[in-house]
C-alpha cells in the first residue's frame, strides 16, 4: 500500500482532489468506506478534537488501520482542527496520517511561531505524518447557521500563504478563499450555495507551492468545486452535509420501523443516506459524472 503523500501527489498530478469526510461514529465510517470502495478512489476520514474525544483517538486509528490492511484499500486518517500541541502529539502517537494544526484564530505572527514548533514536535514523534496549517478566517462549527458571518476581511493572500508555508514548513495549507464552516439553513434545501474565489486559490497555489485543503466544503456550488480543484485544491472537507444526511437517515429508519429496537436493523438507512452524499461528492472531486446532484 502506497503512503498518503503518494496518493496526494498522484491526485495533484491528475487534477483531482481527495475527499475528506468527518466521522464521529462507526456508521459514518461504514458509509464513507463503502462509497470509496464502490468508486475505487482513495479517501480521507477526519475527526475534530470533539469527535476524537467521543470516538477515542487510539481506537479510531486502530479501526481505520484494520480496514486499510484487511481490504488493502487507501483509506487514511486525519486529525482535523487540532488546537493544542498536546492533542497533536496524541494523534501523531496514535498513528494518524495527517494532522490539521489550526491556530488561525491567533494573529499571523503567533500562528507562524507556534505552528513551526508544532511541525517539528509532531514529526519528531512520527516523521511520516503530514502537518497542515491554517490561515485566514472561515468561521467555526460544522453545523446549521441562521446567518453568515462576514468572512471577507479574513481572506488569505498569496503573499501571506507563501510566507506561512516557508516559515512553518507545513506540508499542507488551508487558506480562506470564500469557504465557511457549517451551512446556512438555506443551503440545506439547496436554495443558496457557497461561492469560492477561484483566482485567489490559483494565486495562493502559485505562491505557496504546497498541497492545499478546502475546509468547509459543504453546500458549495458544484462548478466552483470543480474550478477550485483545477486551480490547485488537493483535499476537500465535507462534514455538515454528512451530519444532515445522518440525521435524515436516522429519522427515516426510526419512522419506518417504529417498534424496532435492534440498532443494526435501524442504522442501515443511515449508512445508505450518508453513502449517497459521500458517493456523489467523491465522483465530483474525482472528475466523474455525478449521479446524484448533491
Q: State which H helix or E strand residue 268 sits in.
A: helix 268-285
pLDDT at residue 290 in the model: 56
CA 225 to CA 214: how far, in whole Å? 9
Q: Give yes or no for residue 142 having a pLDDT over 90.
A: no
- Reduced to 3 states, what is the DSSP secondary structure of residue 130? strand
Mean predicted confidence (pLDDT) in 84-112: 97
CA 119 to CA 102: how far, in whole Å? 12
CA 51 to CA 28: how far, in whole Å? 12
Q: What percent of the chain has pLDDT over 70?
A: 96
pTM for the full predicted model: 0.94
126 CB neighbour count, 10 Å cutoff: 18
Helix then strand count (H, E) for the chain reads 13, 10
Q: Model confidence over 158-208: pLDDT tens digits?
A: 999 999 999 999 999 999 998 887 778 888 888 888 899 999 999 999 999
CA 18 to CA 291: how far, in whole Å? 18
CA 88 to CA 99: how far, in whole Å? 7
User: 178: alpha, beta or left, given left = phi > 0 and alpha = psi -120 to 50?
Assistant: left
Q: State which H helix or E strand residue 194 sits in.
A: none
Amino acid at each position: 500500500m502506497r503512503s498518503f503523500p503518494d496518493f496526494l501527489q498522484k491526485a495533484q498530478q491528475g487534477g483531482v482532489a481527495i475527499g475528506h469526510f468527518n466521522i464521529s461514529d462507526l456508521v459514518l465510517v461504514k458509509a464513507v468506506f463503502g462509497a470509496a470502495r464502490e468508486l475505487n478512489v482513495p479517501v480521507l476520514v477526519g475527526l475534530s478534537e470533539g469527535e476524537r474525544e467521543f470516538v477515542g483517538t487510539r481506537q479510531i486509528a486502530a479501526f481505520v488501520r484494520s480496514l486499510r490492511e484487511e481490504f488493502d484499500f487507501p483509506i487514511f486518517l486525519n486529525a482535523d482542527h487540532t488546537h493544542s500541541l498536546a492533542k497533536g502529539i496524541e494523534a501523531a502517537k496514535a498513528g494518524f496520517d495527517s494532522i490539521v494544526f489550526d491556530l488561525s484564530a491567533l494573529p499571523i505572527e503567533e500562528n507562524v511561531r507556534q505552528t513551526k514548533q508544532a511541525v517539528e514536535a509532531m514529526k519528531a514523534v512520527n516523521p511520516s505524518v503530514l502537518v497542515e496549517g491554517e490561515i485566514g478566517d472561515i468561521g467555526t462549527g460544522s453545523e446549521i447557521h441562521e446567518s453568515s458571518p462576514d468572512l471577507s476581511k479574513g481572506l488569505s493572500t498569496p503573499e501571506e500563504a507563501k510566507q506561512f508555508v516557508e516559515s512553518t514548513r507545513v506540508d499542507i495549507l488551508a487558506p480562506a478563499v470564500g469557504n465557511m464552516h457549517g451551512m446556512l439553513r438555506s443551503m440545506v434545501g439547496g436554495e443558496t450555495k457557497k461561492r469560492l474565489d477561484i483566482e485567489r486559490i490559483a494565486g495562493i497555489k502559485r505562491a505557496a507551492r504546497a498541497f492545499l485543503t478546502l475546509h468547509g466544503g459543504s453546500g458549495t456550488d458544484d462548478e466552483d468545486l470543480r474550478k477550485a480543484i483545477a486551480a490547485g485544491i488537493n483535499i476537500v472537507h465535507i462534514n455538515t452535509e454528512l451530519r444532515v444526511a445522518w440525521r435524515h437517515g436516522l429519522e427515516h429508519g426510526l419512522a419506518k420501523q417504529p417498534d424496532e429496537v435492534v440498532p443494526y436493523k435501524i442504522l442501515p438507512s443511515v449508512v445508505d443516506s450518508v453513502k449517497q452524499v459521500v458517493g456523489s461528492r467523491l465522483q465530483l472531486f474525482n472528475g466523474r459524472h455525478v449521479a446524484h446532484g448533491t
